[in-house]
Structure 1
């Protein structure tokens, strides 16, 4: 039987194994540094400029327009 590799934590975006040197953790979810991007504009994020909603990552601007704005609209 061939050896099994990649049994560690999985990235919250791509679901591939995250190794220590490429790991960023936000909201108790591990991510690859290269996967840690805004869902809307794909800007690279860091722990100082990201926002998270329901497992999705956003830059501060798109968090305001995508998440906060939708949650504050009154139903028609």
Structure 2
């Protein structure tokens, strides 16, 4: 039986195999270092400048705009 390759951890962004030398782990998920970037602006992220909500990666600026701001707005009563 031929050997099967690619059975390791999968990248949460591109879903391809992540090998140890290119692995970035954050929020309990694995990413390629090149896939670990903000969903909005595509800025490369590091462990000290990222935020994650519902499995989506953000830079601090876009997390503030997309997640925090939406969660703090009060509904208007009619």
What is the match of residue 37 of structure 1? 37
Equivalent residues, number: 76
Q: Which has the larger radius of gyration?
A: 2
What is the match of residue 65 of structure 2? 65
Give the TM-score normalised by structure 2: 0.91
- List, as ranges, runs of 4+ consecutive aligned residues in structure 1 with deviation greater than 3 Å: none
SS of 1:51's equivalent in the other structure is strand
Give the root-mean-square deviation of aligned CA atoms. 1.1
Question: Which stretches in structure 2 are left out of the alignment for 5+ residues?
Answer: none
SS of 1:64's equivalent in the other structure is helix
What is the match of residue 8 of structure 1? 8
Question: Which stretches in structure 1 are left out of the alignment for 5+ residues?
Answer: none
